Structure 1
Amino acid sequence: MTLRNLLLGATMLCAATPPAFAFAQDSAPAGDAAAPADTVDTVDYGNDIIVTASKRSQTLQDTPVAVSVTSAADLENSQIRDLIDLQSSVPSLRVGQLQSSANTNFIIRGFGNGANNPGIEPSVGVFIDGVYRSRSAAQIGDLPNVERIEVLRGPQSTLFGKNASAGVISIITRKPQFEFGGSLEASYGNYDAVVIKGDITGPISDTIAFSIGGNYNRRDGYARDLNLDADVNDRNRWGVRGQLLFEPTDALSIRLIGDYDKIDENCCIAGNVVAGPTVAITNALVGGRSVDANNPFSYDVYNNFLSTNLIKNYGGSAQIDYDLGNMALTSITAYREVRADANQDSDFTSADLIGQKSDDTAINTFTQELRLASDFDGPLNFLVGGYYFHEKIDQHSQIYFGDDFRPYGNALIQTASGGALSVPVLEGTLGALEGDPAKYAGSFFRAGDGMDEYYRMKNTAWSIFGTVDFEVTDRLTVTFGGNYTKDKKRFATDVTSTDVFSGIDLDAAAYAPFRNTLLFQGGLAQQVGEVLGLGRSATAGEIGAFAGANPAVFGAISTAVQAFANANQNNPAANPLNPLKAFQFLPPFLNLPNAVEPGKTNDSDFAWSARAAYELTDTVNVYATYATGFKASSVNLSRDSRPLASDLPAILAGGLGTPNLVAGTRFAGPEESEVYEFGLKGQWSVAAVNLAVFKQSIKGFQSNIFTGTGFALANAGKQSTWGVEFDGSVRPVDGLNLTLAVTWLDPKYDSFTGSAFGDISGTKPSGIPELSAAMGATYTARVGNGNRAIFHVDYLYESPTRLVDGLQGFPAGFSDQFKREVNQLNASFTFALNNGLELGVWGRNLTNARYLTTIFPAVAQSGSVSGYPNQPRTYGVTGRFKF
């Protein structure tokens, strides 16, 4: 028995199967025709589909794991270009792209996080050919020759060195072959979209095979910047990937992979969902329209500079598989680098408010996995492994005010004070009270001021993991597994704020006379207005007239108001300058490590699983699983990083405090997940069924909420969901394959008292549809001598759901009115000739359904809400040649 037959999954960290419906197709895709029958990656489209979700050779029916897999044929038929498109085929998976091409969030069964903040490791782990990709920028790409994409649902602990608390996405590309072959694909679509992909594989010698592939993906923007007269939200990415396979003996296999890909595109537009009072100000600043107010689906935007996204992702891996007879040894070594440089007009208006909002991130990752798997004839088998992970993250961020920010700030202060104050008045008054009237002249909201930020983090982790399978009877197998993980992080910040106004303590004793004057003036206007029955504060003219006509009454009112002002000039709750605190956007930053905060975390955990699988009949299996998962602490590498409430007293007592310092989070503690799951799998000659019923929860779920200028990172006490997943297929007639995948979820925050929106315990988490369904039909008709006509259609439905848990600066419940409902229809027709040539037409989101992927408070624009609209309808033609 060769190594490849011994461990079908030994060449990948996790391999699963094509969907249950894959066997119903008439034949394997042409691209697989050259693969030897015993190759581990070969997909059996007969009745016994071979899978290795448990890292052992089993049929789909025998695999007691909740897994969905999208095959190469499905990727082609649905024109799935990247992981964002993948959710249309897997209803338990949600993928969202946020403010840049480097920020993608993956959610399985309602659990997932990690985008926007490089210090947060995702709860959904992504692996490509067995190599863990720790951040989303390293996960997006048009990989050449993808064989299948597998989505494992629920915590994956005992088979993975890198623990994933919510699930795993595993992408498997085809290994080099010892028979010459390859493919070339070219596609053209609307928005002048051009996609070219190709690969070639073959032998170098009897023991060495190679493959090399490349991809190019370019598209004009589907949105229009009317201020800059330019297309935006374009696509421009390319990559190359090479592999060498050494098989000097039947017992030894070495697979070397090297890849490089690059993204250089403009992303991502945000439309105006709610036009708040600041829109009138920005319109006045630009002398026209600054946003397309309340119309996020016009795909017309107004910016004052084009956003940029430059991402480079490259690395290599070496996998060694060695056959020891009745055991197999596997080693996977990998080193990767990601360089992401993004700059965005983050106020999303044509006014030059935010002149620069850039993030330059460097991520270097080294991983090493070693595992040993048995293949004994007896009832007992095992898998044991060790895993090492080392990562270094350096991020340089900058946010600077633009040329319009000073007049914008002046308008905000005038509005908030009812015209009583302005930026020059504030600068002169506060400076005079400090002994120098010119001290702040021209410095409030000055163009070019802002924050210069440096964040660093080093993460070292290791784990020991394994499973034991015991066949109690020919039909009953029990499995136990465990994973002990040790994770250490060290992090540091070097952040400087030059936002002068944000560094002023408006409660300071030096400003008491100013507060006294404002309290007196405001109180007098209010009292006179009440006496006159105006229903508002009196104007200066009305006060003067009242004083002349009623000197005695006015004197009594004036005395009482002055007494109130004297008593409350140092009362923070009555401070008349409090409304101005909302405009202190970028306060001074307390860096760490410092005398109180060491800037490090140290976590450890033992996760385990127990499963019983029983073969009811030769075609029906059932299983029951209990499993736990773990994710270590995540770090808030953003300008909203603030001391924990427990550390703040010691910081202030030690004289380390900075002006306007408040408590927040430096890091969020670990996530601990668990799942109770019951599953049924049935497979017959014309149908297949997979059913899973589960209760899954995560204690300490790491919530990352955008606040308008940064991110608030916090642990939820507990988030849980009941759910049912159904995945079935049927072939009613020869050539026709019908599929249906349905997910029903009932999620809630069992406990979340410290959210960014207060206590939201007992509420339903946002962004998680109660019902998701993916339906598909593929009909393959034989035409002539070996030619095929392939008709494919699929439809994705997601029931209405709230977009966000809340919005900073808005009343509780305000955001509940904004919901997302997805109705997406995709279709394709392909004519495949018997000589390997294929021609086809395709379309995605054919009904041009529109919805917002998420919403957020507009940057520095109180009362306004921005949101990301989904991608509109796309369509095109494709030519493909396989040989």
Structure 2
Amino acid sequence: MRPIGFRLAILAGVSLLATAVSAQEVAAQAEIDENEGLIIVTASKRAATLQDTPISVSVTTGAQIEQAQVRDLLDLQTLVPSLRVSQLQSSANTNFIIRGFGNGANNPGIEPSVGVFIDGVYRSRSAAQIGDLPNIERVEVLRGPQSTLFGKNASAGIISIVTREPQFEFGGNAELSYGNFNAIIARADITGPISENIAFSIGGNINKRDGFITDLASGSEFNERDRWGVRSSLLFQASDDFKIRFIGDYDKIDENCCAVVNIVDGPTGGAVRALGGRIDSANPLALTSTTNFDSENEIENYGLSGQADLAVGAFDLTLIGAYRAVRSFTNQDSDFTSADLIGRNSAETDIDTYTAEARIASNFDGFFNFLLGAYYFHENIEFSPQLSLGRDFRNYASLLAGNIPAGGPLPAGPAYTLLERIGVAPVGSLGGAGQGVFENYDYRNRAISAFGQADFSLTDQLTLTAGFNYTRDRKNVVTDVRSTDVFSSLDLVAIGTLLGVPPSLAANPAVNPLLGLQALQFLPQFLNFPNAVEDGRTRDNDLSYTLRLAYKFNDNISGYATYATGFKASSFNLSRDSRPTRANFIPGSPVTNPPSSPVRAAGLAVPNLTSGTRFAGPEDAEVYELGLKGQFDGFGFNLAVFQQALKGFQGNIFTGTGFVLANAEKQSTFGFELDTSFTPIRALNITASLTYLNPTFDSFTGGSALNPTFGTVPTDLSGQRPAGIPEFSLSVGGNYTANLSDTTRLIFHADYQHESNVPIAQGSNISREVESLNASVTLALGGGFEVSAWGRNLTDAAYITTIFPSVAQAGSLSGYRNQPRTYGGLVRYRF
């Protein structure tokens, strides 16, 4: 492998040849200067032209979102190829990935590597990030570690959503859209003055749609939309130098989501069908599923925030404070068959988040400017999941276990109930409906950080930037997890000795026939913490920094070179697969006389306890990046070439009943991003963006992967390419405006997204290739009226987004498929 410096030098040379290409990368708070025709941005927290902003950041404006008919954040990735968004098993779980790095959904103990901010307020979990927002001004995607300009450190990147401030002129917007699957979206907002110095805005939205996946057993429709929200804002503009904005919002989701398709119908399928259950067998692209009850996804998300901005002489002071709350309840038929194997898989989650930020920025005319800030984060999470067995599970387990023939050393009859027949377990106790695991996690996180950066204008063309972020993070977790599954609590090694197996051979499956039943012990007892060995705490401190040189070649071309680090604190595994580390506990039965370990020495070992991870250590990000920006009449470009790495990347792998949380010693990605925009005539604008990624697990000795029977097994992934990250991602779009009269316009829009073929999961040969063609045509009439027709995924491309081991069905594989073609019409009135 060639050294990093060599590859960056080669691609720096390529970037110097790219001035014939153009870019559409705008940054935070972009606006058009009508006199100069320049794009003014403040991605670096101060006003500058796009060309003079040396940061890799893309923006999708509110107008672009409207034209592309982006229905929610899941659709945003069609416009930003370096961003990937996927919805997982519930409406509350959405994963954001930038440059191949991202995690955090499914497991509330993990903060995402990609931070999401809405109007400057950090949203710590995906359930608080996915609500529809009225009057979006822009959505910005900052790529790479972000620390010196944001108090909340983000190791992979940031998504910043900005809504429009209240205006001092009355105005508003109302729209109604109807599409296939009976999709109805209604949005409205109004803004105006209350007095000379006070303005308001209030908006609301409703998003409803029938499901696009039909349940063959019940006839219910899954993957529906049923959400609404309101948002109000009040702006006090005391003077040009002082303003305060308050925002209050509430949104609610109540949906039947998310349907699972069967990819591989393994050896357990026959047992399911013998019980009268149905499986839509080996039909991965089906728009059908089979369950015995509907899913529940009830999410409330609300909060209050305030931001004050004060200019005093050459200094700008900003204060932001916020309280956010999420209340969610989810429940689903997790065996995804019409048999009642898993009776309940529910979770109640309460999240309360308090944040405060203060920063001061200078506006000196001279050689030096700075930004300095402080940030406080306080979060409490109460998480109470439970998984219980259904009424068919006992018979299902008996079918899988088979029968013990007569005449042998063991009593004849069903193998699963053998332990009842020999008196080890009460008669009728094994596999009873309602048995399961009942969990309660109390999570507390406190973090403070100081951050800032300084700009030194070494010459009229050359600027040096140096920034830092110091973070101090403290987490505490208390667990109360109980397993009532009688079969999972039995020590089959010890019971084997009762049946006459020599203790030295009791752990040998070839000698102890009971060990063949261990696959049915998937809800073992849990070692709660804190305990005498584990304190349930993490304590992290980190200093991240940024160094950048920016050079303006001429009025049209500028470039930059950046070295930056980032950080994400340790994350706890809040799932039933949270285990003590092997350093604290060496698995084994007391019968086999395993080596001593701290857990066993303290008398804390419970039957069938295994080792694993309680938490994953922090992520440390590092990026080398070269960028070149050009802006000319009619075209512009933005090219970024980078080598980015995360040491300690927090991998969160679903096992079928819980999650394995582990650190990859190092995961790195070499790649480039090219964003272009071309306007050959005033009526036509064409954009094209290309992302190339070449990721590697440089070292991941504690990884996990699917084995040939689709179980999740420990695997050394060092040297492998991480699954799910496409080599190439492409987005192409265009707008053409035809002026039919002085007051009437016809606007055509089309965009296309493509991701190259890539394995979906580690160890799997099942792959995904993404394409999405979207289009709209809008007739803008006089007086603010607009009529549109739109379509998304017009080619009806179908693919699997995620795969995982089927719950309680060893050898079977399940997954989620993408959304099919949608289309409809829209009427909008602006005033």
Question: Pick from 363, 379, 402: which aligns with 1:414?
Answer: 402
Asked if the contact 2:404–2:415 (Cα under 8 Å) also holds between the matched residues in 1, the reply is: no
Q: Does 1:842 align with 2:790?
A: yes
Question: What one-letter code is carried by the residue in structure 2 that aligns with 1:148?
Answer: R
Question: What one-letter code is carried by the residue in structure 1 that aligns with 2:483?
Answer: S
Q: Does 1:495 align with 2:469?
A: no
Report the CA distance between 1:617 and its aligned residue: 1.1
What is the CA–CA distance in structure 1 between the aligned matches of 2:241 and 2:682, rounded to whole Å? Answer: 41
What is the CA–CA distance in structure 1 between the aligned matches of 2:458 and 2:406, rounded to whole Å? Answer: 80
Q: 1:204 to 1:418 in 2, by over 3 A?
A: farther
Q: Does 1:306 align with 2:294?
A: yes
- RMSD between aligned residues: 1.9
What is the CA–CA distance in structure 2 between the aligned matches of 1:135 and 1:417, rounded to whole Å? Answer: 53
Report the CA distance between 1:232 and its aligned residue: 1.4
Matching residue of 1:292: 280
Matching residue of 1:547: none
Report the CA distance between 1:314 and its aligned residue: 0.1
Question: Pick from 777, 786, 811: which aligns with 2:734?
Answer: 777
What is the CA–CA distance in structure 2 between the aligned matches of 1:255 and 1:474, rounded to whole Å? Answer: 37
Aligned to 1:244, the other structure's residue is in SS state: strand
What is the CA–CA distance in structure 1 between the aligned matches of 2:347 and 2:420, rounded to whole Å? Answer: 34
Question: What one-letter code is carried by the residue in structure 2 that aligns with 1:836?
Answer: G
Report the CA distance between 1:83 and its aligned residue: 1.2
CA radius of gyration, larger in = 1
1:352-431 to 2 correspondence within 5 Å? Answer: 352-414=340-402, 429-430=418-419
Matching residue of 2:684: 736
Report the CA distance between 1:425 and its aligned residue: 5.2
Give the stretch that moved more between structures: 388-397 or 439-448: 439-448
Per-residue CA shift, 1:631-673, capped at 9, x if unaligned? Answer: 0000000100110111221011111000011111110000000
Matching residue of 1:83: 73
What is the CA–CA distance in structure 2 between the aligned matches of 1:183 and 1:800, rounded to whole Å? Answer: 41
Matching residue of 1:539: none
Matching residue of 2:563: 626
Matching residue of 2:14: none
Matching residue of 1:222: 212
What is the CA–CA distance in structure 1 between the aligned matches of 2:721 and 2:375, rounded to whole Å? Answer: 36
Per-residue CA shift, 1:702-724, capped at 9, x if unaligned? Answer: 00000011000000010001001
Report the CA distance between 1:566 and its aligned residue: 9.6
1:809-824 to 2 correspondence within 5 Å? Answer: 815=764, 817-824=765-772
Asked if the contact 1:837–1:879 (Cα under 8 Å) also holds between the matched residues in 2, the reply is: yes
Q: 1:438 to 1:168 in 2, by over 3 A?
A: closer
Matching residue of 1:252: 242
What is the CA–CA distance in structure 1 between the aligned matches of 2:407 and 2:810, rounded to whole Å? Answer: 18
Question: What one-letter code is carried by the residue in structure 1 that aligns with 2:718?
Answer: S
What is the CA–CA distance in structure 2 between the aligned matches of 1:271 and 1:432, rounded to whole Å? Answer: 38
What is the CA–CA distance in structure 2 between the aligned matches of 1:766 and 1:265, rounded to whole Å? Answer: 30
What is the CA–CA distance in structure 1 between the aligned matches of 2:673 and 2:752, rounded to whole Å? Answer: 17
What is the CA–CA distance in structure 1 between the aligned matches of 2:265 and 2:417, rounded to whole Å? Answer: 33
Q: 1:440 to 1:475 in 2, by over 3 A?
A: same
Q: 1:718 to 1:423 in 2, by over 3 A?
A: farther
What is the CA–CA distance in structure 1 between the aligned matches of 2:780 and 2:84, rounded to whole Å? Answer: 32
Question: Pick from 475, 479, 496: which aligns with 1:511?
Answer: 496
What is the CA–CA distance in structure 2 between the aligned matches of 1:780 and 1:284, rounded to whole Å? Answer: 61
Asked if the contact 1:20–1:689 (Cα under 8 Å) also holds between the matched residues in 2, the reply is: yes
TM-score normalised by the chain length of structure 1: 0.87
What is the CA–CA distance in structure 1 between the aligned matches of 2:406 and 2:167, rounded to whole Å? Answer: 75
Report the CA distance between 1:77 and its aligned residue: 1.1
Q: 1:789 to 1:317 in 2, by over 3 A?
A: same
List gaps (5 residues or longer) in structure 2: 1-21, 586-596, 706-714
1:229-244 to 2 correspondence within 5 Å? Answer: 229-244=219-234
Aligned to 2:736, the other structure's residue is in SS state: strand
Q: 1:789 to 1:280 in 2, by over 3 A?
A: same
Asked if the contact 1:504–1:659 (Cα under 8 Å) also holds between the matched residues in 2, the reply is: yes
Aligned to 2:387, the other structure's residue is in SS state: strand
Q: 1:706 to 1:189 in 2, by over 3 A?
A: same
Matching residue of 2:748: 791
Q: Does 1:872 align with 2:827?
A: no
Asked if the contact 1:747–1:765 (Cα under 8 Å) also holds between the matched residues in 2, the reply is: yes
Matching residue of 2:472: 486
Asked if the contact 1:416–1:580 (Cα under 8 Å) also holds between the matched residues in 2, the reply is: no
Report the CA distance between 1:296 and its aligned residue: 2.2
What is the CA–CA distance in structure 1 between the aligned matches of 2:173 and 2:735, rounded to whole Å? Answer: 22
Matching residue of 2:452: 466
Asked if the contact 1:20–1:60 (Cα under 8 Å) also holds between the matched residues in 2, the reply is: no
Question: Pick from 154, 176, 194: which aligns with 2:144?
Answer: 154
Question: Pick from 500, 507, 514: which aligns with 1:577?
Answer: 514
Q: 1:422 to 1:876 in 2, by over 3 A?
A: farther
Q: Does 1:204 align with 2:190?
A: no
Report the CA distance between 1:823 and its aligned residue: 1.2
Q: Does 1:854 align with 2:791?
A: no
Asked if the contact 1:291–1:301 (Cα under 8 Å) also holds between the matched residues in 2, the reply is: yes
Identity %, equivalent residues: 58
What is the CA–CA distance in structure 2 between the aligned matches of 1:330 and 1:632, rounded to whole Å? Answer: 26
Q: 1:194 to 1:515 in 2, by over 3 A?
A: farther
Residue correspondences, number: 787
Question: What one-letter code is carried by the residue in structure 2 that aligns with 1:688?
Answer: G
TM-score normalised by the chain length of structure 2: 0.92
Matching residue of 2:4: none
Aligned to 1:280, the other structure's residue is in SS state: helix
Asked if the contact 1:428–1:438 (Cα under 8 Å) also holds between the matched residues in 2, the reply is: no
Q: 1:442 to 1:704 in 2, by over 3 A?
A: same
Report the CA distance between 1:47 and its aligned residue: 3.4
Q: Does 1:112 align with 2:102?
A: yes
1:44-123 to 2 correspondence within 5 Å? Answer: 44=33, 47-123=37-113
Question: Pick from 542, 566, 577: which aligns with 1:640?
Answer: 577
Aligned to 1:75, the other structure's residue is in SS state: helix
Per-residue CA shift, 1:311-357, capped at 9, x if unaligned? Answer: 00000101011111100110000001001100010110000001100
Q: 1:348 to 1:423 in 2, by over 3 A?
A: farther
Asked if the contact 1:428–1:440 (Cα under 8 Å) also holds between the matched residues in 2, the reply is: no
Report the CA distance between 1:680 and its aligned residue: 0.3
Per-residue CA shift, 1:420-479, capped at 9, x if unaligned? Answer: 88997557754576xxx2742111111110011101100000000000001011111110
Asked if the contact 1:414–1:422 (Cα under 8 Å) also holds between the matched residues in 2, the reply is: no
Aligned to 2:75, the other structure's residue is in SS state: helix
Matching residue of 2:649: 701
Matching residue of 2:538: 601
What is the CA–CA distance in structure 1 between the aligned matches of 2:722 and 2:729, rounded to whole Å? Answer: 16
Matching residue of 1:560: none
Q: 1:680 to 1:449 in 2, by over 3 A?
A: same
Q: 1:694 to 1:417 in 2, by over 3 A?
A: farther
Moved over 6 A (4+): 415-424
Matching residue of 1:717: 665
What is the CA–CA distance in structure 1 between the aligned matches of 2:477 and 2:774, rounded to whole Å? Answer: 45
Matching residue of 2:434: 448
Per-residue CA shift, 1:259-306, capped at 9, x if unaligned? Answer: 0000000100010000101111111111xx611101122211110000
What is the CA–CA distance in structure 1 between the aligned matches of 2:273 and 2:752, rounded to whole Å? Answer: 41
Give the stretch that moved more between structures: 358-367 or 418-427: 418-427
Question: What one-letter code is carried by the residue in structure 1 that aligns with 2:136?
Answer: V
Report the CA distance between 1:575 and its aligned residue: 2.6
Q: 1:629 to 1:567 in 2, by over 3 A?
A: closer
What is the CA–CA distance in structure 2 between the aligned matches of 1:687 and 1:822, rounded to whole Å? Answer: 28
Question: Pick from 759, 769, 780: which aligns with 2:716?
Answer: 759
Report the CA distance between 1:684 and its aligned residue: 0.6
Report the CA distance between 1:571 and its aligned residue: 4.6
